[in-house]
A and B are shown apart, each in its own frame.
Chain A
């Protein structure tokens, strides 16, 4: 009888601990998104992406904003942490990159919106897709 009670109590205790663990690491301190490993919502050319933003900004935002996308284009200019694709897509990288001007590449990143100052669509947390 006593044994059974101990078993039940320890069982409940285990459940509470597991629940607390999931609440802590699965909800309160869940991992940030890993854009590099996410499946892209869209794979499109730089021209199409910019055209969609120029046609209707609100519609384009509801389609692309905060989504992981793969953009195809030619490198217009680049430095160690950013590169611009011809047509007007600005990509920012967390890790240093090496890209040649004119090179045709695929960039995976998170769309953060349209920058009216430069007339460009911006992506962050980018990686180069092979």
Chain B
């Protein structure tokens, strides 16, 4: 009997906290990547339809980018990216699951603050650990998370044929920007 009432007390005390989890989300996140080589044509693409969910209680973050949503300026480049390199029909999405270390919402202001971000990026059927820094700021009920990092196509088993390998950089710069609403 005591146990039962304790349980009720326990639930009454903690359930409101669980329900109040501060989740922020967006469906219009932005990811750009660039693998240009100087004096050759720009190799860059942008995806403006990236989904992201951020839990401000523990700093956990999940990002999902549909590969077909990456758009290039040159149609043939987009075709090659989809068909030959990233094989987007077979691997339609890129997923990042990770967290911002020591994140406390109270520390975040309108001025961007640096946080360490770690997690796993999965694309083209391969996963890779990413450790980098992200800038976080707040504007009203919106949390803005931005940053950039470098990846190698080889890390994800993406082969760039030798014919064009001179025109595509070995390291790809990925920049992201999410405005997450409560």
Smallest Cβ distance from A117 to chain B, in angstroms? 5
B-facing residues in A88-124 (Cβ within 8 Å) = 90, 92, 110, 112-118, 120, 122, 124
1/0 per residue, CB under 8 A from A, across B99-130: the answer is: 00000000000000000000000000000000
Structural contact, A124 and B64, CB atoms closer than 8 A:
no
Task: Give the chain A neighbours of B74 by CB distance below 8 A.
Answer: 29
Q: Verify if A31 is at the interface (C-beta below 8 Å from B).
A: yes
1/0 per residue, CB under 8 A from A, across B168-180: the answer is: 0000000000000
Task: Give the chain B neighbours of A61 by CB distance below 8 A.
Answer: 89, 92
Main secondary structure of the interface of A (DSSP, over half): mixed
1/0 per residue, CB under 8 A from A, across B2-37: the answer is: 000000000000000000000001011000000000
Structural contact, B66 and A112, CB atoms closer than 8 A:
yes
Structural contact, A65 and B92, CB atoms closer than 8 A:
yes
Q: Verify if A66 is at the interface (C-beta below 8 Å from B).
A: yes
Task: Give the chain B neighbours of A32 by CB distance below 8 A.
Answer: 75, 78
Structural contact, A117 and B53, CB atoms closer than 8 A:
yes
Task: Give the chain B neighbours of A117 by CB distance below 8 A.
Answer: 51-53, 62, 64
1/0 per residue, CB under 8 A from B, across A10-35: the answer is: 00000000000000000111111100
Main secondary structure of the interface of B (DSSP, over half): strand
Structural contact, B92 and A124, CB atoms closer than 8 A:
no
Q: A21 CA to B79 CA in the complex, in Å? A: 20
- Please count how many residues in chain B sit with their CB below 8 Å of the partner chain's CB atoms: 22
Task: Give the chain B neighbours of A43 by CB distance below 8 A.
Answer: none
Q: Looking across the interface, which residue of chain A has its beta carbon closest to that of B72?
A: A32
Q: Verify if A82 is at the interface (C-beta below 8 Å from B).
A: yes
Structural contact, B76 and A115, CB atoms closer than 8 A:
no
Q: Verify if B58 is at the interface (C-beta below 8 Å from A).
A: no
Indicate which residue in B27, B48, B76 contacts A118 across the interface (CB closer than 8 Å).
B27
Task: Give the chain A neighbours of B67 by CB distance below 8 A.
Answer: 113
Structural contact, B51 and A115, CB atoms closer than 8 A:
yes
Smallest Cβ distance from A120 to chain B, in angstroms? 8
Q: Verify if A81 is at the interface (C-beta below 8 Å from B).
A: yes
Q: A81 CA to B29 CA in the complex, in Å? A: 13
Indicate which residue in B48, B52, B66, B78 contacts A113 across the interface (CB closer than 8 Å).
B66
Structural contact, A29 and B76, CB atoms closer than 8 A:
yes
Known: A29-B75, A113-B66, A113-B68. 4 other contacts (CB 8 A): A31-B75, A65-B68, A90-B27, A124-B68
